[in-house]
A and B are shown apart, each in its own frame.
Chain A
């Protein structure tokens, strides 16, 4: 809104007369609205100014002046024709003219006179004289002021207003004109205020104008006159005329305020530097601008009577000025108030819509946003009165067609994204935008989307889009940049219940983005900082998921462009050429980790990296740190390729540069432990490749003879001595230990390779190694390294963490992972030194290790809560990556433990069953090996030595061999997708399809059940799953032809194995690894469900009727029945357990209905079958189970004759409380009880819920009175005496252990009294009940 423009009235002050500045403050003509035609405007002007002219007419009269001062007419001609101060100027002009005439010579005067006479004719002198007389007369009449001198020459004044038309036109006018004019003049002088405003002039004068002597003037509206009015005049602008007004929010006028003043506390802190006192720059105080006249100020004050006039621009001002006739607050004038009256406090300040950002992405407090001045550039949006941009404004403007605007808004979005990303993490919460907590992920998606739209643009818009991507993708979670070997993408939960994926990355239009990025990199269209941001972005995308990595690789020209721009830079580098970027090599590594196909596609560009190997960092043209980093990155990249068995021929092809590099690394010039580690890991990878030449791709890429020929063993020991030197010189302890881990692994790889390829199983090499290792680990440096890492590991392991704040916990996990790797590497070296011939315990260890410490530690690792925490909902998707070293450590320890004489069979089995449940995807090979060894141990001798009585029929078809294929399959269900193990093995390099773990959420949801690991506690029952799905089971399709076990036999061995697992675990007090109640129940249900939809008619064919199967199932379930000595608390939920087998689309209820139907048709009231019907009827589960069982299948109730103590439950109260409230189920209880066919547990449950719904002392509340009476009457009328007695005398306690029959049928005296009283009160014939109660 613009404040009303005040036109300076042309003659507002006497002082302004000489300057002629009448047309406006600035000297420019005042603005006129052009909606009217020029003609119409002219008319209006005339109408307005018509009054001016007559005022001047009388001045023409004095004719005597002609002779003297006529010549000066032109000089004064520009005097504004305002009559208000006529007398003043006339006097002034008189004086001037007088002076002038006096100063003239006689010739000049004569000349002037002649001129005038020539122009106006000879009569002009008379006319002027008359005019003068008239004037003098008039002034005598009206004011009696002294008249100016007779020599006044103002007679020529009319020319001022009408220089074109001859003034003679006016001359005939006489006294009549004069009179009327004086009247007008008087009127004008009476109302000087109004005259200042043109409109006011109009409005006031118009009633007068009819009486003005217009007719006497006889001025037709002809052109000349109108032209005269519209004459353009330019003011002589002096500095005093220029007023600079502060640009400020026009209405309401507020003082600008940029920031809150610092508090005293801030100032005392001393880190705030004052830039001086801020002075408001109002026009009056601006020192550089000329101060306007004091008179000017005065007139302004004059025009605005201070007491009444409201501030200019306010609605009240508008009303008074433009709608004086309308009462204040008239509804029809509401519109003038509405916009100005927006109260900032009334806006919903909490909602994100009200949230406004300044250009740095900082939210502006609502109370400030309405006061900030406009010149900060925060008002370029639709809602004009508030400073700052809402998110919607920003998103709108980020689609602007003006590139500069778009770029700045994208930049603003990037800054907001940075704040959001930071605030998401608890540690930086205060740096975030607290108004937007909880909306980060959604906003991130939107911001990324707006960046995606702009990524194709050139120039700053494109650069800002890159910035946005960087902030949203890389900067969002900058912890992720270094994490390799795991996918981050969250798998979409199949059910609708899970939270919608919080990840913005899957929604990116990669098909569109990647070519754009490729172009940008290829053309180097952006500054190099942005280009390396693009590399970071690609790296983060490649990290996110294997699919994304593949699509990056599949984008045409992207990889060549990256290599050309970032790797194959000009050599030697000139000053202007860019340097190679190690993060580009890192990107290639990540891409290669993602999948085997990626790695194969990257073989071609792998040659380029040789340039960094060919020149050692000391002689490299690049700066030394950069060259080292490039070299290390290249070696790491080659190691990744080698983990697929790829590209190992390069060491043969380019042996010379590698040898030179190796010399450099072993020399004292190399101080980078990273380089040593990278080279050692690469040696390890190549030795693994060389161990079996048929496993590399292509085969015979590298041969063991070459490894021996190049003396890599000495190479490794050279690195070791170099590493000792480096360690002595300092550096981070942990870092040094990691280097040692890689060196030990390289040595182990050599020994493992020698075992396969060396003479007599590599005995010579082993003996040589053991000889030195004994000393090194006894009292050498390496023994210290191992002990140190063991101690630190123990400390880290015992840190108390709750796994709620993962920002902190992840550091503990990282420490554990790094130290665990070191320890596991030592164990691997130890194992590589053991003789291959036997598999059993060794007589003496090859070199000493702190075995006791290792045993305690691995037990603690296995029991550590971290294993369940990493799959928690709020755990980061990569947490399990750090558990890989721990799982590998456990596997190694298991192998070590097997070779130790002190380990008993039971102990080892318990360790094996524990470790099996701790394995992660990628450990399949290790898991399979463990399982095979376990199967070998479970033999008839195993049971005989423990005097377990196992029927010999079990071993008829091969014992454990029957179920081993199923168990192995449960560990590694997928044939094609192999995740690379933590350490490559000769077998793995040909099989692996990816080196990266799936993300934690993918494992949690078991998407596509690609991953068998980690195993669930009921893994040992998995053969039953395959029996139940024998039609579709992949195991059955590839079973050997010799496998001919029947369902019953498989079930027997499975149940036996399950029993063994449980017994072993319980004996070693590892209860948390054994199956819980619900898993056992569900497993036994599966045995019964084997008969579902089976055609046989005779019970002898049914698996569950098998004596052995029944006995094993009873054994399994016994600890979970009510009669068991030590009740196990309720831990799990059948429905949750069943999902693992049934999948998310089949509810457990459906399974249960099938189970009941099966019971109904074939069970012959099998007691175990009947017992398994009951668990879902507890009050923990949904009402539907009880309705189904008690209502729909009430006829089977008669056959469920489970004694109370055989019920499968940890706590019988789960069946009793809360009291059943559904009337349909209560009706079913009543019906079943009255029929008299219920026995045992089900009868107790029914009586309990009936009695609890009847008796007020059990009900607890006073509702359901009516139902209670009805129930009691029904029981009393129809029940037999036994039933009535039980119901009447039923008692139960809700606290403490439940009373079980028969104790619950002996109500005490107090409750009998209460009940008797209640029965007496209620209506109805309850004599039978009363008699009983009184007995």
Chain B
């Protein structure tokens, strides 16, 4: 009833900034970064990436409240770079890693397509046949199945 709208979990409000960086007043080379409209998915990745950096002395994050869509990440470096820089580096690296991952994934997938040849195509066609309609779960079961089989026959006819 009073559950927050789902979009609030990932859509920034008016005037909100996605990232706020506060340098710690007490600890040298330390900062607390508040990242809005994000959750453990990003927090954990960034934390892990930061810890891989030898100049980072400490990196940790917390999600203060499960219903508040933001997390805090605390970074301390050894002084050779600023926490902002290491966070930027970490994010860049993370993007790079993820792009590589995506590229690799796509390439592998296309390899798979190529290897299986026409069968793969047929499979795709079947899949398309299965996936008709907007229903993400494959529609009313029997109907979807029938269509799928229909697609199969198309392939045989082909």
Asked if chains A and B come from one complex, the reply is: yes
B74 at the interface (CB under 8 A from A): yes
Look across to chain A and name the residue whose beta carbon is closest to the beta carbon of B24: A1099
Check if A1162 sits within 8 Å of B34, measured CB to CB.
Answer: no
Check if B25 sits within 8 Å of A1098, measured CB to CB.
Answer: yes
Residues of A within 8 A of B74 (CB): 1161-1162, 1164
A1031 at the interface (CB under 8 A from B): no
Residues of B within 8 A of A1163 (CB): 58, 60
Check if A1165 sits within 8 Å of B61, measured CB to CB.
Answer: no
A1098 to B47, CA, bound (A): 18
A991 at the interface (CB under 8 A from B): no
A1162 to B74, CA, bound (A): 7
Q: Looking at the complex, which one of A1097, A1161, A1165 makes contact with B57 (CB distance below 8 Å)?
A: A1165
Q: Scoring B residues 73 to 97 as 1 if CB is less than 8 Å from chain A, else 0, what string do you get?
A: 0101000000000000000000000
Q: Scoring A residues 254 to 297 as 1 if CB is less than 8 Å from chain B, else 0, what string do you get?
A: 00000000000000000000000000000000000000000000
Interface residues contributed by chain A, number (CB under 8 Å): 19
CB distance from A1155 to the nearest CB of B (A): 13
Q: Scoring A residues 1120 to 1160 as 1 if CB is less than 8 Å from chain B, else 0, what string do you get?
A: 00000000000000000000000000000000000001011
Q: Looking at the complex, which one of B22, B25, B26, B62 makes contact with A1162 (CB distance below 8 Å)?
A: B62
A1165 to B74, CA, bound (A): 11
Give residues 289-329 of A contacting B (CB, 8 Å): none
Interface size range on B against A: 20 to 34
Most chain-B CB neighbours within 10 Å: which of A1100, A1161, A1162, A1195? A1161
Given contacts A1165-B58, A1195-B48, contact A1097 B25 (CB under 8 A): no
Q: Looking at the complex, which one of A1100, A1105, A1165 makes contact with B76 (CB distance below 8 Å)?
A: A1165
Q: Scoring B residues 42 to 67 as 1 if CB is less than 8 Å from chain A, else 0, what string do you get?
A: 00000110010000011011101000
Check if A1097 sits within 8 Å of B32, measured CB to CB.
Answer: yes
Q: Looking at the complex, which one of B26, B48, B72 makes contact with A1161 (CB distance below 8 Å)?
A: B72
A934 to B61, CA, bound (A): 44
CB distance from A1108 to the nearest CB of B (A): 14
A1162 to B73, CA, bound (A): 9
Look across to chain B and name the residue whose beta carbon is closest to the beta carbon of A1165: B58
Look across to chain B and name the residue whose beta carbon is closest to the beta carbon of A1105: B26
B3 at the interface (CB under 8 A from A): no
A378 at the interface (CB under 8 A from B): no
Residues of B within 8 A of A1157 (CB): 62
A340 at the interface (CB under 8 A from B): no
Check if B47 sits within 8 Å of A1195, measured CB to CB.
Answer: yes
Given contacts A1097-B34, A1099-B25, contact A1161 B58 (CB under 8 A): no
A1162 to B48, CA, bound (A): 15
Given contacts A1162-B60, A1164-B30, contact A1100 B48 (CB under 8 A): no
Residues of A within 8 A of B57 (CB): 1164-1165, 1199
A368 at the interface (CB under 8 A from B): no
Check if A1100 sits within 8 Å of B26, measured CB to CB.
Answer: yes
Q: Looking at the complex, which one of A1099, A1159, A1195 makes contact with B30 (CB distance below 8 Å)?
A: A1099
A1095 at the interface (CB under 8 A from B): yes
CB distance from B62 to the nearest CB of A (A): 3
Check if B64 sits within 8 Å of A1100, measured CB to CB.
Answer: no
Check if A1097 sits within 8 Å of B60, measured CB to CB.
Answer: no
Check if A1097 sits within 8 Å of B27, measured CB to CB.
Answer: no
A818 to B62, CA, bound (A): 62
Residues of B within 8 A of A1105 (CB): 26-27
CB distance from A320 to the nearest CB of B (A): 85
A1196 at the interface (CB under 8 A from B): yes
Check if A1098 sits within 8 Å of B62, measured CB to CB.
Answer: no
Give residues 1-31 of B contacting A (CB, 8 Å): 22, 24-27, 30
Q: Looking at the complex, which one of B22, B47, B48, B61 makes contact with A1097 (CB distance below 8 Å)?
A: B22
Look across to chain B and name the residue whose beta carbon is closest to the beta carbon of A1195: B51
Residues of B within 8 A of A1199 (CB): 57-58, 60
A134 to B58, CA, bound (A): 142
Given contacts A1099-B30, A1165-B76, A1195-B51, contact A1160 B25 (CB under 8 A): no
A429 at the interface (CB under 8 A from B): no
CB distance from A1242 to the nearest CB of B (A): 15
Given contacts A1164-B76, A1195-B47, contact A1100 B25 (CB under 8 A): yes
Q: Looking at the complex, which one of B24, B61, B76 makes contact with A1098 (CB distance below 8 Å)?
A: B24
A1165 to B60, CA, bound (A): 10
Check if A1161 sits within 8 Å of B62, measured CB to CB.
Answer: yes
Residues of A within 8 A of B51 (CB): 1195, 1198
Give residues 1072-1122 of A contacting B (CB, 8 Å): 1093, 1095, 1097-1100, 1105
CB distance from B38 to the nearest CB of A (A): 15
Residues of A within 8 A of B30 (CB): 1099, 1164
Check if B64 sits within 8 Å of A1095, measured CB to CB.
Answer: yes
A1255 to B86, CA, bound (A): 41
Look across to chain B and name the residue whose beta carbon is closest to the beta carbon of A1107: B26
A1100 to B74, CA, bound (A): 14
A772 to B83, CA, bound (A): 83
A1095 to B62, CA, bound (A): 11
CB distance from B42 to the nearest CB of A (A): 15
A1199 to B34, CA, bound (A): 21
Residues of B within 8 A of A1100 (CB): 24-26
A968 to B76, CA, bound (A): 42
A333 to B19, CA, bound (A): 98
Most chain-B CB neighbours within 10 Å: which of A1095, A1100, A1159, A1160? A1160
CB distance from A1013 to the nearest CB of B (A): 40
Residues of A within 8 A of B58 (CB): 1163-1165, 1199
Check if A1161 sits within 8 Å of B61, measured CB to CB.
Answer: yes
Given contacts A1162-B62, A1165-B57, A1165-B58, contact A1099 B48 (CB under 8 A): no
Give residues 605-648 of A contacting B (CB, 8 Å): none
Residues of A within 8 A of B25 (CB): 1098-1100
Look across to chain B and name the residue whose beta carbon is closest to the beta carbon of A1197: B51
A1214 to B109, CA, bound (A): 52
Look across to chain B and name the residue whose beta carbon is closest to the beta carbon of A1159: B60
Q: Looking at the complex, which one of A1093, A1099, A1196 makes contact with B60 (CB distance below 8 Å)?
A: A1196
A1013 to B66, CA, bound (A): 41
A1105 to B24, CA, bound (A): 12
Look across to chain B and name the residue whose beta carbon is closest to the beta carbon of A1094: B64
Residues of B within 8 A of A1160 (CB): 60, 62
Check if A1099 sits within 8 Å of B27, measured CB to CB.
Answer: yes
CB distance from B120 to the nearest CB of A (A): 38
CB distance from B71 to the nearest CB of A (A): 9
Residues of B within 8 A of A1159 (CB): 60
A1192 to B22, CA, bound (A): 29
Residues of B within 8 A of A1095 (CB): 64
A1161 to B60, CA, bound (A): 4
Look across to chain B and name the residue whose beta carbon is closest to the beta carbon of A1106: B26
CB distance from B47 to the nearest CB of A (A): 7
Look across to chain A and name the residue whose beta carbon is closest to the beta carbon of B62: A1161
A1099 to B72, CA, bound (A): 13
Q: Scoring A residues 1161 to 1205 as 1 if CB is less than 8 Å from chain B, else 0, what string do you get?
A: 111110000000000000000000000000000011011000000
CB distance from B94 to the nearest CB of A (A): 15
CB distance from B20 to the nearest CB of A (A): 9
Most chain-A CB neighbours within 10 Å: which of B24, B58, B64? B58
Residues of B within 8 A of A1162 (CB): 60, 62, 74
CB distance from A243 to the nearest CB of B (A): 97
A1160 to B62, CA, bound (A): 8
Residues of B within 8 A of A1196 (CB): 60
A1196 to B61, CA, bound (A): 11
A1161 to B65, CA, bound (A): 13
CB distance from B103 to the nearest CB of A (A): 27
Check if B22 sits within 8 Å of A1098, measured CB to CB.
Answer: yes
A1159 to B60, CA, bound (A): 8
A364 to B30, CA, bound (A): 85
9 A-B pairs with CB atoms under 8 Å apart are A1097-B22, A1099-B27, A1100-B24, A1157-B62, A1162-B74, A1164-B24, A1164-B74, A1165-B58, A1195-B51
Nearest 5 A-B pairs (CB), nearest first?
A1161-B62, A1165-B58, A1100-B26, A1160-B60, A1161-B60
